[in-house]
Structure 1
Amino acid sequence: MKVVFVLLSFLLLNIYKPAERPNADKIPVCHTPTDGAHDMVALAADPAFQQLHEVPLPFHYAGEGETITFPTSDGKDASGFLLKSAKKSEKWLLVYQEWWGLNDHIKQEAAKLHKDLGDVNVLAVDMYDGKVGTTREEAGKLMQSASKERLTAIQKGAIDFAGKKARIASIGWCFGGMLSLQSAILEQTQSVGCVMYYGSPEKDVERLKTLKTDVLGIFGSQDQGISPEVVAQFEKDMKAAGKSVTIKMYDAVHGFANPSNPKHDPAATADAYKLSLDYLKKKFK
């Protein structure tokens, strides 16, 4: 069974190779192989990949922060969970959700980062327009239905909300790990840092060449979705693009850093968080 899953994952992750160079305004997320299926969206339909995600334990966040809305280029407002800096600041951290959606766990992570970073505005971006999955099946359907056009519009709207003078870094987990990297590409010269936890890497070297920042990638060696082989190829692609990437591989499963995950790895999570925090603090100096 394991061999079958590995082969299936390999086929899904390599079913599409772009024939044309995409521009920096589009996130490569679609739903059919002939239309440029994005790795994580393709995997979201696979029951085996869904089983890699343990159903989150119940959790309720009751701390600081406010839900805000902002306009997007497609005419439909987007939303997010905002924690403002105590003093006026042009430093912004965009936080991207796991495949479950912008749930209370992500809000808690945003609040923790806000507290530990100091004078940084933190915006957890809602990529599902208010919808949250509580089961694997729900999360899989939400991720599959996330169109590339809407995702791009939301991310560009969040960047515009931060402002033209903003210095922006991004962080995300799982689906959000992929989105964090795409956000850094969209941010262009405003980008100062990018942290991606076990998200699908960008495979187009030409697109990676448009990055204006280095990347911190955090992954698990036991991850059967975003495997060590996929990560190794990402390192090669970043080198080919002339970009810098630091990879930290933990002996852990997919989603190990989520405290609401029954397979949560506290030691790896604490170390990864310290690594991420130190990285972000240096970027915001």
Structure 2
Amino acid sequence: MDLRGASADSLRELTTEAEQALRAGQHAERVAGELYDVAELLRAEPALRRFATDASLPAEAKQGLAQQVLDGKVDGVTLALVTSAVARRWTISRDLADALERLSELTWVRSSDANVVADELFSFGQTVTAHPDLRDALANPARSRADKSALLDGLLDGKASTATVALAKQALGGTYRTLTAALATYRQVAAQASGQAVATVRVVTPLSDADRARLGEALSKQYGKNVHLNEVVDPGVLGGMRVEIGDDVIDGTVSSRLDDARRKLVG
């Protein structure tokens, strides 16, 4: 989900509106779920989506349609955000639905502790990666979405926050390429909500608390913001560590140095 130009500006302004509205004490969980439902409605109804994003139509007409469709069916904050969204400019039609889904993700994260949600999403992502049968079951097009949601309830009930469970279920919607890609994006959203960056650290044995603290401090200084560490124990690194943060990779593993040595010998 990469919004550009007018769409990026519209999402930024809508995000500010959502923060201000929800700070006034509205029910964030309800709003988060409804924003996602509206995004799905727009994707399922191309004519409605085209009308809502038609720059040649007056904003009042598009807002009137949104109110007609949603009034009495959603929270007042949801209605206000959607009404504001359809009055804005969008680079391409599908960006409206994508922006509302991103607002949903941000609202779910802010309804809970962003750091807790980030950790739970990471843990669930690791579980999916480690169990191919589970990954295949959640990706199987022959299984209904309700069936997959029930599977997630069984896996996560009592083990994760409401926000994490909701996001895991939204990941089934197919907006992102794969379930694991969706979970990775949600972790970035959680980091954004808490003003942090996310670093995945691959090590052969778990870091001590002191080592984690030193690494976090060093990365925070380097990137100019707090860095949330996700630790992966990977025997393949042999020793040292590999740090992935955004598009940057800091590879100080023994396996990497051995590969470098092999290439030099071959060369």
Q: What range describes the TM-score normalised by the shorter chain of this pair?
A: under 0.3
Q: Given the two structures, how large is their TM-score scaled by the length of structure 1?
A: 0.25
- Of Structure 1 and Structure 2, the greater strand share is in 1
- Of Structure 1 and Structure 2, the greater helix share is in 2
Q: Given the two structures, how large is their TM-score scaled by the length of structure 2?
A: 0.26
Work out which of the two has the higher radius of gyration on C-alpha atoms and give 1 or 2.
2
